[in-house]
C-alpha cells in the first residue's frame, strides 16, 4: 500500500533548517496567483534554492496532507511528473497558518509535442495497476480527500456506478438541495436512481487526477507537462477526460495520442456531461449560483 511519511514542522524556519541546514534562510517571498483555494508563494533561499509554498488556515492542514498523498499516488505510476513534496507544517509564529512546501516547478518552453506526450502519459497513468491505491473494493481511495476546498468521499466500492452515485453526485446534490425546486429535486432523485442507464462500468479501474483542467497542468523545466493540485481517486478514466473538456478543452493532439494508447469505450460523448455534473455541482457549492444553469442543463438532458 502507498504510504506517505511527510515531515511536519511547527514553523517555516524550522522546516528550512531541518531540510536545508541552519545556515539557509528565506531571502525572498513572492505571491503567486492562479489558485482558487490556498495562498501560494514562491520562496527563494539564501543558496538560491527555489521552493513553492501553499498556505491556509490551521484547520485546513488536511488539504495539504491529502494533496501530498495524491501527488505521491500519481508519482508512483511513474507516468507523469509531479513536484516532490518536502513537508507540511503549522506555523505557530504566523498566527498558526498551515503550510505545504514542495519543489518549485521552474517552467520552461514546451517541447514540440507537449500535448501529445501528455496524452500518452495520462493514458499510461490510467493503465497503471491500482492495487496499491485501494485496500478493499475497486473504486475509491485509501482516504477521503478534497476537491477544491470541499470534502471528497472515497469510500471503497466494488462497482464504479454506485461509487459515482454515492460518493460523487449524491453528496453534492444534497449540499446544493436549496438551489432546486421540488420538481427538480424529484428529477434529480430519478437521475440518481437510473444512473446505470447512462453510465458504464470501466474495463478496469484507473488512478485519476480528479481535477484535471488546464490550470492544474504546468510545463516543467524539461518542457513536458507536470501535474499539480490533484483530487485523486480510483475510478473510470473517462471522468478525467471529461474534466479536461469542461473549461475549454485540451488540443486535439492530446486526445488523439491518449486514444492511441488507451482506446475509449464507445459512447463516451453521451456520458461526459454526467461526469462533469459532479465538477459543476462542486463549483456551484463552492462558488455559487453562476454554475446553476449548467447544472440544470445537464440534469434536464438526462431526464
Ligand atoms: P490552489 O490549491 O489554491 O488551487 P494551485 O495548486 O492551483 O493552488 O497553485 C496555485 C498556482 O501556483 C498555480 O496556478 C500555479 O501557477 C502555481 N504552482 C502550483 N504548484 C507549483 C509548483 N510546484 N511550482 C511552481 N508554481 C506552482
Distance from residue 45's CA to the centre of ligand 1 (Å): 19
CB 292 within 8 A of CB 283: no
Q: 10-residue block means of pLDDT along the chain (303 residues)?
A: 86 96 97 92 98 96 97 97 97 90 95 98 98 94 97 98 98 98 96 97 98 97 97 98 96 98 97 98 96 97 90
> Which residue, chain included where needed, has cell 482516504?
143
pLDDT of residue 4: 77
Distance from residue 34's CA to the centre of ligand 1 (Å): 7
31, 33, 36, 40: which to mutate for ligand 1, most atoms within 8 A of CB? 40
For β-strands 97-103 and 50-56, DSSP reports them as antiparallel
**Which stretches of the chain are DSSP H helices?**
12-20, 61-76, 114-127, 160-163, 170-175, 182-193, 237-246, 252-261, 268-287, 292-302
Tell the residue nearest (CA) to atom 20 of ligand 1. 228
pLDDT of residue 26: 97
pLDDT of residue 170: 98
CB 215 within 8 A of CB 78: no
* SS3 (DSSP) at 40: strand
115, 126, 243, 279 from 249: Cα distances, Å: 12, 19, 8, 14
Which residues are CB-contacts of 39 (< 8 A; sequence separation ≥ 6)?
31, 54, 55, 56
Asked about 273 being catalytic, the answer comes back as no
> Quick one: which of 51, 237, 203, 208 has its CA closest to 145?
208
Residue 35 CA to residue 222 CA, distance in Å, equals 23
Amino acid at each position: 500500500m502507498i504510504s506517505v511519511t511527510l515531515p511536519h514542522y511547527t514553523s517555516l524556519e524550522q522546516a528550512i533548517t531541518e531540510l536545508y541546514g541552519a545556515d539557509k534562510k528565506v531571502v525572498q517571498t513572492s505571491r503567486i496567483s492562479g489558485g482558487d483555494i490556498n495562498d501560494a508563494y514562491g520562496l527563494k533561499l539564501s543558496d538560491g534554492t527555489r521552493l513553492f509554498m501553499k498556505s491556509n488556515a490551521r484547520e485546513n492542514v488536511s488539504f495539504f496532507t491529502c494533496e501530498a498523498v495524491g501527488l505521491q499516488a500519481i508519482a508512483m505510476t511513474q507516468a507523469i511528473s509531479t513536484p516532490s513534496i518536502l513537508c507540511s507544517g503549522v506555523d505557530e509564529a504566523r498566527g498558526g497558518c498551515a503550510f505545504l512546501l514542495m519543489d518549485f516547478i521552474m517552467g520552461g518552453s514546451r517541447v514540440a509535442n507537449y500535448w501529445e506526450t501528455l496524452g500518452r502519459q495520462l493514458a499510461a497513468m490510467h493503465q497503471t495497476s491500482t492495487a496499491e491505491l485501494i485496500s478493499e473494493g475497486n473504486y475509491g481511495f485509501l482516504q477521503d480527500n478534497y476537491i477544491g476546498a470541499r470534502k471528497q468521499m472515497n469510500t471503497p466500492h466494488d462497482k464504479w456506478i454506485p461509487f459515482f452515485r454515492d460518493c460523487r453526485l449524491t453528496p453534492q446534490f444534497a449540499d446544493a438541495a436549496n438551489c432546486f425546486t421540488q420538481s427538480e429535486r424529484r428529477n434529480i432523485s430519478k437521475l440518481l436512481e437510473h444512473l446505470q442507464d447512462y453510465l458504464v462500468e470501466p474495463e478496469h479501474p484507473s488512478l485519476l487526477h480528479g481535477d484535471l483542467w488546464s490550470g492544474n497542468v504546468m510545463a516543467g523545466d524539461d518542457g513536458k507537462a507536470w501535474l499539480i493540485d490533484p483530487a485523486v481517486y480510483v475510478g473510470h478514466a473517462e471522468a478525467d477526460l471529461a474534466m479536461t473538456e469542461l473549461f475549454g478543452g485540451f488540443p486535439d493532439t492530446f486526445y488523439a495520442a491518449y486514444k492511441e494508447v488507451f482506446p475509449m469505450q464507445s459512447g463516451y460523448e453521451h456520458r461526459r456531461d454526467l461526469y462533469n455534473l459532479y465538477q459543476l455541482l462542486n463549483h456551484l457549492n463552492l462558488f455559487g449560483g453562476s454554475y446553476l444553469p449548467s447544472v440544470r442543463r445537464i440534469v434536464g438532458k438526462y431526464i
